[in-house]
Amino acid sequence: MEIIAYGVLADERPLLEAAFDAAFPGNRQLRCLDLDLDRDTAPTAAGSEIILSSVNDTLDAEVLRQLADNGTRMIAQRSTGYNNVDLRAAGRLGLTVTRVSYYSPYAVAEFAWALALAVNRRIVRASVRAREFDFRLDGLLGRDFHGRTVGVLGTGKIGTAFTRIAHGFGMRLLGCDVTENPECLALGMTYADRYRIFAEADLISLHLPLLPETRHIVDAAALDLMKDDAVLINSSRGGLIDTDALVAALRAGRLDGVGLDVYEEEAGLFHLDKSLEVMTDDTLARLMTFRNVVVTSHQAYFTRDALDQIISVTVTNVRDYLAGRTGDNTLVAPEVSSPATTRPTPSITSPRRKR
């Protein structure tokens, strides 16, 4: 049984290989590739029944068709998000699709706060100056977060972890979600509509899934409502922010700072070395010119604890597929229980929404 994992990072590879060696001793051949899966690279999966995909892979209808035609029957997404997978097409093709519905929320929440602090206290600029032995404090003035208002859009597991840290800073807590989280309410959070949060919050952090109703939830109108000295943090999904509108707001001298671990056009860029190439993405290049913007390469989840959990769940998903089982991590599954059946009638499950 050959399994191919796409978009595997250098630090991830030994952990992934060790986990599959232990789970399937002598009964699997795991190939780890650092390239992303798309229309051009899909032929490399020929003959592989199981694919381990990453969030940067393009799994549209055409790619899924190529995979199915070449023998793939299962796609195990190594992330919580799955907006890069055409689930309806997967269902039509009789593919099983799973995801990692849960891993350490602290990894992302802590990184979101690292971005917030780096932006507010100008830590990146200060570090660059210090390396050049420039120890002036000009332009490095920040603010206390204590006593100020934080707006948390999305209070699932990650949003709740972020809120606990905000509570520790002594901040006033505002939250927005389709349902109120008892844990956040116990911390003193007030739930409000997003327009109030945009208008009142000094710090806004996004912890939402990317869905049609959340795409560009931070658009020009939302940015117009924000305080001129607000800080905006996105460690969730790039498509939550209208990047062109954000650039326009920054050009107008608005917002005290922005921290982005994700970018709506990051596919084909993030996790790759583009340092020797011409940057053809004009919007991203423009973002990089603002001194009050910090951009990182979708690394909020990237802790040993989170990777161990992601890999463990992925192994479980593969085991379940081979045993003909489905579970909370299953996004699409054939109606029959045996994976050996060719092209069964598919069904799409309704996974619980998690962040």
How far apart, in whole angstroms, are the C-alpha atoms of residue 49 and residue 72?
A: 4
Six-digit token pair at 138?
């000009």
Active-site residue identified among 99, 266, 271, 355? 266
Alpha helices of the chain — where are they, by DSSP H?
13-23, 61-69, 87-92, 105-120, 123-131, 157-168, 182-186, 194-200, 220-225, 243-251, 282-287, 304-322
Is 266 designated active site?
Answer: yes
Q: Which residues pair with 355 in a beta bridge?
A: none
- In the three-class reduction of DSSP (H, G, I as helix; E, B as strand; rest coil), residue 127 is classed as helix
Active-site residue identified among 237, 264, 271, 355? 237
Active-site residue identified among 78, 99, 207, 298? 298
Is 298 designated active site?
Answer: yes
The strand pair at 50-53 and 29-32 is best described as unpaired
Residues 6+ apart with CB under 8 A from 76: 50, 51, 52, 53, 97, 98, 99, 314, 317, 318, 321
- Tell me which residue of 204, 202, 146, 141 sits closest to 176, measured CA to CA: 204
> What angle separates helix 105-120 from helix 123-131, to the nearest 10 degrees?
70
Question: Are 171 and 149 a contacting pair, CB within 8 Å?
Answer: yes
| Beta strands per DSSP E along 24-95 | 29-32, 50-53, 74-77
DSSP letter assigned to residue 128? H
CA-to-CA separations, 103 to 17, 226, 264, 300, 302, in angstroms, rounded: 19, 32, 23, 12, 11
Is 110 designated active site?
Answer: no
Catalytic residues: 237, 266, 298
